[in-house]
């Protein structure tokens, strides 16, 4: 499964991905792409891949199966 997220705010350079699992309502940061530099948090590296450009569009690929059933969110922001 590949999820995509895009924005059109020219000053934003970062797209972040979050997971909200069924068992835990807290949002967990999976990772982000800052400009063209993706980062996946250590606990998620085996399960997810992030690609893209934080100024335009990013994708989140879910690499494993049903244990990652959850709601996924993206957010765009401006980072320095």
Give the model's pLDDT for residue 50. 98
Banded model confidence at residue 20, pLDDT cuts 50, 70, 90: very high
Question: For residue 53, what is the domain's CATH number?
Answer: 2.60.40.10
Give the model's pLDDT for residue 66. 74
CA distance 69 to 23: 10
pLDDT tens digits along 28-77? 999 999 999 999 999 999 999 999 999 999 999 999 877 789 999 999 99
**Which domain range does residue 54 map to?**
2-77
Number of domains in the chain: 1
pTM of the complete model: 0.94
Cα–Cα nearest to 52, from 14, 19, 12? 14
């Amino acid at each position: 499964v590949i999820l995509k997220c895009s924005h059109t705010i020219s000053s934003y350079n970062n797209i972040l991905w979050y997971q909200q699992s069924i068992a835990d309502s807290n949002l967990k940061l999976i990772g982000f792409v800052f400009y063209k530099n993706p980062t996946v948090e250590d606990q998620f590296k085996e399960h997810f891949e992030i690609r893209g450009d934080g100024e335009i569009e990013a994708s989140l690929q879910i690499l494993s199966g049903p244990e990652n059933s959850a709601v996924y969110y993206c957010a765009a922001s401006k980072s320095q």
